[in-house]
Amino acid sequence: IVLDMTYDAKCLFYNWRNKLKEEAFAIGRQGSMEANRLVRRTAKMEANVGRLALIFQMLRWACGETTDTLVDEKSIRCALRMHAFMEESYTRILDIVDAHSIEPDKKEFLDLLGNSFTTAEAIAAGVEVGMSASGVKKNLPKLIHQKYISKKAHGLYEKVPSCSLQTLSTLGTFPLSEAHADSESSQSTPNTIVPKCNDNNHQNQTPTI
């Protein structure tokens, strides 16, 4: 199915795409492995949102909400919300994977510490796992960078709460539709024809494939 977009839909879609490209360019300049991974993922987002918008448009047409001639603003908004849900799910699952991929020695070290701890307590825990004081001081910044801990003040640290496997069961709770989204998306192109369920002129229409 090949459909064009309404003017409002194009404005919304291309504004989102341009902002996405700007963010991807800024991330790409960092040159790190994580940055390169994000840039590769953003390269596919534009096409994914376009496909999702087409699917939503056809679903809404099948329910008698809109036409099958143009992708409107509401379908673009639905696609962007679904995309946000997918990104949220990806991020939360990635947190789970990262939490379970920590090196055994670092995990043993962190397990000995409370939710909040001082440098002295970290050194004491390091001794128990065979880590020198200098090794602990060297590893603390790495653990901060890996987002296992955060620095609250000089010599004071706090563990970053990580996702558990139970998080997987709640991934579907991310809100995909809200009242304000429907009210915003209803402001589509004025020329868009919205057929009613009892409109005999549209009951037997089939989409162009």
pLDDT computed for residue 170 by the predictor: 38
pLDDT digits 0-9 by tens, 11-53: 999 999 999 888 888 877 777 666 777 777 788 898 999 999 9
11-15, 100-104, 117-121, 129-133: least confident range: 100-104
Q: Are 21 and 39 in contact (CB under 8 A)?
A: no
Q: Are 75 and 67 in contact (CB under 8 A)?
A: no
Q: Are 127 and 120 in contact (CB under 8 A)?
A: no
The helix, strand and coil proportions of the chain, stated in percent and rounded to the nearest 5, come to 60, 10, 30
pLDDT surpassing 70 at residue 88: yes
* Position with higher pLDDT, 99 vs 31: 31
In angstroms, the CA 151 to CA 160 distance is: 10
Please state the rounded mean pLDDT for residues 92-102.
Answer: 71
- The residues that bridge with 192 in the sheet, in sequence order, are none
Residue with tokens 């998080």: 167
Spatial CB neighbours of 137, under 8 Å, sequence gap ≥ 6 = 119, 123
pLDDT digits 0-9 by tens, 142-188: 888 877 899 999 999 999 875 333 333 333 333 444 433 444 444 43
In angstroms, the CA 124 to CA 58 distance is: 62
